[in-house]
Every structure is written in structure tokens, then in C-alpha cells.
A and B are shown apart, each in its own frame.
Chain A
Amino acid sequence: MTTPPLLEPKFLPQLERMAIVSRRMRAGRIQAERRSTKRGGGIEFADFRTYAPGDDFRQIDWNAFARLERLLLKLFVAEEDLTIHILLDASQSMVFGEPQKWHFALRLAAALGYIGLVGMDRLIGVALGDPPGGRNRISRPYRGKRQALAWLDWLNGLEPGGTLDPEAAIRACVAHTRTPGPVLLLSDLMGAGWEAGLRMLAAHRYEVTVLHILAPQEIAPGLEGDLRLVDSENKATVEITADYDLIRRYQARVAAWQDHLRGVCTALDARYVFIETTLSLEELIMAYLRKYDVIA
């Protein structure tokens, strides 16, 4: 069985016209296309400053000198790169659903990462819980369109499975990364500890976007009869008699859970986007995420 490519070549030109939206200006490491808190050689005018020895005399505003006979430096908003973190839930629970959540998340991560690479942003991928049962697998930083293939290769090399302690995994992630920036969390958020992890990211000034991915079978399970439900991660069981009432209450529970997560994200100044795997990637990128101001 051949695995379909994460990104369709014909889709790439559309992605190249987009950018990941960052609501905050951050000081980057190199000059790129992002506005930075630094003043530099960008295009957008920021302020004037009196020339001091050592300054780049190329930035002196000679017109102002002609009028005012003072050496003033014209300051511009520096356009620098951002470090985009794509956190990918690689626990066993993601290997579920039709369409499968893991494969869907991989394709979404590939697309988002490609957008970041094209925008000359620094991209770091983190597979939470990968390898199975082990610690996070963190990619090396990628930048530029030329490294897109490497990004995709890294994604293709991921193997989902095992259990995941979200709080511990995010703590490890935060400890490893030192440059807060946009964090795109792709997960089904199944299990406890995700809320604590999100709070931790927010506390470290990460600009968090939660892409909550669920399969349709998790939203409206077609279960019937007397069942023993087995957790795909920890093999925990729950016995139910699936009837109309129970399914209805489960759906109400899912809705309440989503509302709760949305509330938590709002409180943390994070974005919350619920995604069902039945969405096509193109529709998701071109319309859905733009609507939620994740990409522009």
C-alpha cells in the first residue's frame, strides 16, 4: 500500500501565497519577512533617532538633515523571522477514525510547515509522545523553501503510538525551545493534562493555536448494543450499553468538552479551532483556517 503524499504539488503554489498569522511582534534571529520588535532595515517607517557614532550612516535621513541640519536616523520596522513550532500529537489515539486523525494531522502539519518555510520563518516540529512511549521527538529547525522536503521527510518519519502525558510532553517541549513564537498544536486532546500543557505554553508567551482534530466516529459514534470500550492508548475499558440515550448524552458531552476547551483557550489568549477529519485539506487551509485567522 502506497502512502499518499503529504502535499499535492498542485497545492503548493496556493500555499506559497499564504502566511501564518502571528498576532504579536517578536525579535527574531535573522531578517526575514516578519515585523519585529527591533527597528531595522525593513520597509515600514517606525521613527527618527539622533545619529550616534557607530550607527549605520546609510540610515541617515539626508532630507531631514537638509531641513533641520541635524543628523537623524530614519528607523524602520525590522522584518525578521519567527520560530514556528508545530506540535503534533503522536499518541496512539491519533491512529483512529476514518479518515484517520494521524494522517490528517500529518498533512495539515506539512501544509502549515510549508507555509512557514516559504515565509522564511524558522520551523520546528515536535512530535509529542513519539517514539511510542518515549520522549518527544523534536526536529531540527528548518527555514526556507528549500528545506521543505526535509520537513516533509521528518514528518514522514514519524511513527504514532503509545500513551501520552500531555503536560509532561509540553513541559519537555517548552524546556527545549527557547524562542517563544507561534505554536500550532495538532491534537485530539483526548485525555487529561492538555489544559495544563496549554497554560504552560501560554505562560511562556507562546502564541498558541489549538487545532483540535476529531474523527467523525468520535463526534457521533455509531455504537450499538452492549460493548466494552477499550482505550487504544492505555487499554482502559469502559462497559456501556449503547442506546439512543447514551449516544445522545455522549454527543452532548463532546459539545460541552469543546466549549470548555474553547473557553480555556480564550482565557489563555489562544486560538481554538475544531477540525473534523472529513474536511478536505484545501478547504481547511483556504477557507477554514483563514476564517479563524490562523493563516492569511
Chain B
Amino acid sequence: MGFLTPFAFTLAALLPVIIAFYFLKLRRREQIVSSVYLWQTLVRDVAANAPWQRLRFNWLLVLQLLFLTALIVALARPFSLTTAAVGRHLVLVVDTSASMAATDVSPDRLTTAIGQAHRLAADLPADTPVTLIAAGVQAQVLLSGSTDRTRLTQMLRSLRAGPAGSDMATALELASAIVAGEPEAEIVVLSDGGVELPARMPAVARVRYVPIGRSGENQAISALSLDSGLSGQIGGDNYQPYSVFVRVTNYGQQDVTRRLMLYAFTSQGESLLTVRDLLLPAGKSVSFTVADVPLETAVVEARLEGRDMLALDDRAWAVAPLVYGAQVQIVGPGNRFLETAFALLPGVEVTTISLEDYEASWNGSSATLQSDQAGWLTVFDTVLPQEGHYPPGALLFVGPLRATRFFSVTGTLDLPVARPASTGDPLLRYVDLRGLVIQRAALIPLPEWARPVIVASPVSGREGGDTPLLAVGQTDGRRLAVLAFDLRQSDLPLRVAFPILLANLVGYLVPGIRGDLPEAVAPGTVVEIALPPQAEAAFVTRPDSVPVRLNVRDGVAMFDDTWMPGVYEVRWEGESGRWLLGRFAVNSFDPVEAAISPRQALFTIGGEKQYIPAAQPVRREWWRLPAWAALVLCVTEWLVQYRGGVVWLWGRTTALVRKK
């Protein structure tokens, strides 16, 4: 409690003056009456007004003293420091990111934030609406402009810290939109500051940031990978053990020693790979590699023993890609570029056969592979078999010279300029087409089953603009790709992009061979699962062993329930049974969440600009209360002084009302 204008207390000198008035003899007005005979008997009752009498209790004196006291207090402008909300509409934005699970405050940051939210709402008048926004990976409005405090309590209790970051920018945009046109509204952000705001924030007025948390002592597994030791050899096996790469980061301000334990999971069970005590300097990372991890290892788990403020990032997982012994058969005159590129892919057995030998060995069924189990890719390099002599499995046509039942060739294109058909195509991931030289390509109209991946740029004076140079698709229960030019008439095989493009194509054409599944994703990531054409359904088993059935459409299934850190197992189901497609891990390697040190302001990305400072205690003035009290006391004093007239007036009014 303080006073903004303590000088007003000098007016307290008037208090004894008022009291003195009651001591002093009053200057009375003379009034002639017929006789004082009747008044004399009452004079003893009014003797308080005798000169220099002793002070007697008088309600008027009390009221006047109280009035002056209240007035003085109001003029002194009393205030108190508070963090309570003062708006007419309170918007609570509660950070539910992973870092809010930190236990540096008891019991954890999110519970503390919920408690703060409760107190803020409790300090408001009952008719003040409250909006609750949970700022998790996705901002979500849980309560909009409600005065139902019970509902607010329920919603606050339902909040849980997520495994990933928070979309605070969207949450603030939502909050700003909700309170648009309400200048008296107030947005309160309850967060540990482990968020990043975009450089250009929406115009959010009257935002207060209440930082939650005290300590930033946290160590996290910031990287874990299981590097494949596989290397395919043309026509032979040469398998090498895995190696595990681990990085542990100390985000705290003190050097600590943590014990890291690595476990390997195989079909036989769990085994301890290694244990290391790591000295982690403050703010530094320590990394190491564990070699000779058994090839049969399916999953590696890293655990940081001991406790820190955030347990979420003390565990991480890495998965090994599945090996099916996939076969790639290249039909053609022999292409060193293709053979080398396929041989670089792990687990791929490459064979090359001439067209004559292919036709000679064609026996009608052709395939010896089990089409449901593994990938079988046949590459027709500048040659085409007789119509109908197509083996089961995926097909890749390279530089076709004539039309087939899958596509038609209407001509040739000279020196086409290649460009991506669309941005963000996963088949062109890490593939740079700039400067690619193609001497000649077949003019292939886009088949109905296909979509273009690489197209020829339209050039004035030339035909064939937007003609596909690479098209992929699915037809007749198989996946196909058509590369419209001969690799020998292009510098593509000499570029870095070539093996990458080929790897992406194999991943698409033969899912599972090189792991079209990502090895690891962040929590909340939507995983696109490419399934074999025979797949009728897909199942994902979550880390908590709960299976989730996915719908398959065009050989692709989407899975978005990746909120739980751990290993997810993907299987597909065909006519012949259910087959394991692969695994992927969900890890929280987000340094923003791992650096749990509470921040005193919300920063834009890169920390360039302090956008919302931490809310300091604000002065809440209390002058209205004593001012109202002074007014009430003044009116009361007047009523007491003139209560005779008031009673008379009341009586007259009542009588008039009764008459009516």
C-alpha cells in the first residue's frame, strides 16, 4: 500500500479544527419567540452548545471527521502493487508446450500457470468474461468470452503439457481477433517464454506476459541417430553393423555430470549397449558415437539417468531401417550410372540383364519374387519388352523409344529445359535441377494415371512446353515411373542430384526398400506412409501399444497421432496377411523447449526484438473507494442534519402516493 500524493495528508490538520468547532461557542442567530417557557425545560438537553463545554458525543461530529478522513485518503490516491488483471475482458493464453512440464516450480510450470489463471479470474468481477486459449502445437480456444467460472475451472484442469513447442503467434492472433473492438480487454500470456514470435506480430494491444518458472537447469538428448551400416553390392551381400550417434546438451547454467545409457532392442529383447558418465559443461553439448551395434538391432533407446527439471527430453529413440533384400533388375544394354546409383542404396540387390536375355527368360509368370512381401523394381533402360512381357512389381522406364500400353510417345524434344512440375514434391527433395542439360527427350503426353514430377519449361518457338520429363503414378496395381530421356544424353548422372533422385524414386516405387518412412519426426508431425500397391489397410502401433487403423488412399496413408514420444510401428495388410512396413521414432529434440530457462520477455524469432516484456506489478489505485465513502458520508451527514425535513418530505410523498 502506498500513496501517490501523500501531500494530501496535510489536510489532516483540518480534523482538530472541526473538533475545535464543537468546543467553541457558536455564534447563534437570535430568534424572538413568544416565550421561552417551554424551551427552558429542554435547555439541559442542548447544553452541549454552551461555550467551552466539554466535548460530547455527537453523530454530526463523527460523520464530519469520517468524511474528512475519507476525503483525505482519496486525495492521497492510495495504491497497491498487484499483478491482477484489470481488463473488462480477460483473455488467458496458457502455454502448453513441452517446457511447461518442467518441475522447477512445484508441482510443475503448467500447474502453476493454471493456478495463476485461477487467481486472475477470481480477482475479476463475476460478470467479466474470460476467454481461455491453450497455446500448444496448435492454438486452441477452449473457452470464449464466458462468465461461467466453473466451466473455466474445468477447462483449466483439462490442460496438459504437450510434447512439443507452442504456436504462440497463432494464439496471440486468435486472442487479438477475439478482443477486437474491445479496448478495455486484456490479454495475459502465462508462459515460460519458451516460444518464438514471428517478426511481424499482429497488432495486439494491452498484452501482459506473466513468466512462469525459476530455473533453467535441464539436460537433454539433443540428437540420436542409428546410422545404417548397410551397403548394397551389386549381386552380393556386404552388411556392416550399425553405429549410434548421440549428442547430449546441457541447457543449464551449471556444469553437471549425467549418466547416459544406451539400450538396443532386437527381436530377442532389450540389451544394454553402453553406459557413459558425461561431464556436461554449462551451455555446451557432448556427443559421441557407439560403433558395432549389432545388425539385428531394430531400435536404440538413449536414457539420461538422474533427474533434471524436464524429464521429457531425457529419453530418445532411433530406429533401424528394415531390410527386405529388395531386387532391382535393370533391363537394357548396361548403364553404369544406374547400376552404381542403385548399388549405393542399402539393402538393394541389383542385377542387369539384356533385353534379349529378358525376353528369352520370359516364361509368362516371370516373377520369382513374392510380390506382397518385398519390392521388385524392373528398370527398362532405353529398351522395351514385347507388349505383355512386363514383370510384376514396379516399373521404371528410362528413355523409352516408343509407346507402350502405359504411355505413348509422340515425338522428341531437343534441348528441353527441366524444371520441377510443382514445388515441394518429395520426389525432388534435395534434387537441384538448375543447369541440367538434356540433349534430347521423348515427347510423352502425360498419361491419365501419372502426375508430372519434372517438366520441360515452355520455350517460345518450341513445342513441348510443360511436357513431362519425369512422370510417376500407379496403374494396374503397380507403380510406374517414366524418365523421358536417356541418361547418356544428359549430364544428370554426373550430378549430385542423380543418386538422390534415384533414391527418392526407389522410395516411391518400392516403399520400404530404403525406408520411405522417416526415421524420426518431431511430435505432432503428420507422417505420410507410402504403402505397397497391394496394401488394403495400414496399422500403426503407438508407443503405448495401442494400434491405430489408417485408411489407405491411392497407396498412401496419413498418420497424425504422433504426440507421444517413442517408437511407432507401421504394418500394412494385404490379401496374404499383415506385413511390417517399418518403424519411426518421435523425439522431442526441440532446443527451444529444452532450453527451459524462463525468459523475462517474449522475443521474436532470433531474439532480435523484445516484443512483450514480463508483466511488472502494476499500481492499482484505490482512491475510488474512499471517494465513494466520502460522498456517502457527506450525504449521510446532510440527512442527519436535516432529517426533520427529510421525514416531513417522506411523509408528504407517502401521503400523496396513498391518495393516488
Residues of chain A having any CB pair with chain B under 8 Å = 93-94, 96-97, 101, 188, 190-192, 215, 218, 221, 223, 225-233, 236-241, 243-244, 246-250, 253-254, 257
Contacts and interface: CB of A to CB of B under 8 A. Distances in A.
Nearest to B647: A244
B106 interface: no
29 contacts: A93-B34, A96-B33, A96-B34, A190-B34, A190-B37, A190-B38, A221-B33, A226-B27, A226-B49, A227-B29, A227-B31, A228-B29, A229-B32, A230-B32, A232-B34, A236-B36, A237-B36, A238-B39, A239-B28, A239-B43, A239-B50, A240-B39, A240-B49, A241-B46, A244-B647, A246-B42, A248-B644, A250-B38, A250-B39
Contact of B28 (A190, A215, A228, A236): A228
B644 A244 contact: yes
Contacts of A230: 30-33, 36
Contact of B30 (A94, A101, A190, A227): A227
Contact of B35 (A233, A240, A241): A233
Given A96-B33, A244-B643, A227 B38 contact: no
Nearest to B40: A238
Interface string B623-660: 00000000000000000011110010000000000000
Contacts of B644: 243-244, 247-248
Contact of A229 (B31, B641, B642, B643): B31
A232 B39 CA distance: 13
B407 to A, nearest CB: 110
Contacts of B30: 227-228, 230
Question: Which 4 A-B pairs have CB atoms at the shortest separation, nearest pair first?
Answer: A244-B644, A190-B35, A96-B34, A93-B34
A227 to B, nearest CB: 5
Contacts of B43: 238-240
Contact of B33 (A94, A232, A248, A254): A232
B31 A223 contact: yes
B37 A192 contact: yes
B46 A231 contact: no
Interface centre among B36, B40, B643 (most CB of A within 10 A): B36
Interface string B16-27: 000000000011
Nearest to A218: B34
Nearest to A191: B37
A250 B26 CA distance: 21
Please classify the interface of chain A as helix (H, G, I), strand (E, B), loop, or mixed, using the class held by over half of its residues: mixed
A223 B644 CA distance: 11
Contacts of A231: 33-37
A229 B39 CA distance: 9
A215 B34 contact: yes
Nearest to B58: A241
A232 B32 contact: yes
A225 B645 CA distance: 13
B129 to A, nearest CB: 48
B544 interface: no
A250 B28 contact: no
Contacts of B31: 223, 227-230
A246 B41 CA distance: 11
A94 B642 CA distance: 30
B35 to A, nearest CB: 4
Contact of A250 (B27, B34, B42, B647): B42
Contacts of A241: 26, 46, 48-49
Contacts of A97: 34
A247 B46 CA distance: 12
A249 B33 contact: no
Interface centre among A191, A225, A228 (most CB of B within 10 A): A228
B29 A240 contact: no
A254 B45 contact: no
Nearest to A95: B34
Given A240-B46, A241-B46, A241-B49, A227 B28 contact: yes
Chain B interface: which size bin?
20 to 34
Contact of B36 (A215, A223, A226, A238): A238
B34 A188 contact: yes
A188 B29 contact: no
Contact of B45 (A221, A226, A246): A246
A192 B644 CA distance: 30
Contacts of A254: 38
A288 B492 CA distance: 135
Given A190-B34, A253-B41, 14 more contacts: A93-B34, A192-B37, A226-B49, A227-B31, A231-B36, A233-B35, A236-B40, A237-B36, A239-B43, A239-B50, A244-B642, A246-B45, A250-B42, A253-B42
A221 B644 CA distance: 12
A253 B35 contact: no
Nearest to B50: A239
A257 B40 CA distance: 13
B34 A240 contact: no
Contacts of B48: 241
Nearest to A101: B34
Contacts of A246: 42, 45-46
A249 B37 contact: no
A250 B39 CA distance: 7
B34 to A, nearest CB: 4
A247 to B, nearest CB: 6
A20 B28 CA distance: 48
Nearest to B33: A229
Contacts of B42: 240, 246, 249-250, 253
Interface centre among B30, B37, B642 (most CB of A within 10 A): B37
Contacts of B38: 190, 218, 250, 253-254, 257
A188 B36 CA distance: 13
A261 to B, nearest CB: 12
B49 to A, nearest CB: 5
Contacts of A244: 642-644, 647
B34 A225 contact: no
Contacts of B33: 96, 218, 221, 229-232
A66 B28 CA distance: 89
A289 B548 CA distance: 111
A251 B546 CA distance: 94
A250 B38 CA distance: 8
B647 to A, nearest CB: 7
Given A240-B42, A243-B641, A253-B42, A93 B35 contact: yes
A94 B42 CA distance: 22
Contacts of B647: 244
Contacts of A247: 644
Interface string B54-69: 0000000000000000
Given A226-B28, A232-B35, A239 B49 contact: yes
Contacts of A232: 32-35
A164 to B, nearest CB: 10
Interface in B413-431: none
A229 B36 contact: yes
Nearest to B30: A228
A237 B30 CA distance: 9
Contacts of B46: 239-241, 246
A182 B256 CA distance: 125
Nearest to A250: B42
A237 B50 CA distance: 13
Contacts of A227: 28-31
A237 to B, nearest CB: 7
A238 B40 CA distance: 7
A249 B41 CA distance: 10
Contacts of A226: 26-29, 49
A254 B31 CA distance: 19
Contacts of B34: 93-94, 96-97, 101, 188, 190, 215, 218, 231-233
A248 B644 CA distance: 9
Nearest to A188: B34
A100 to B, nearest CB: 10
A241 B28 CA distance: 9
Nearest to A249: B42
Interface in B70-126: none
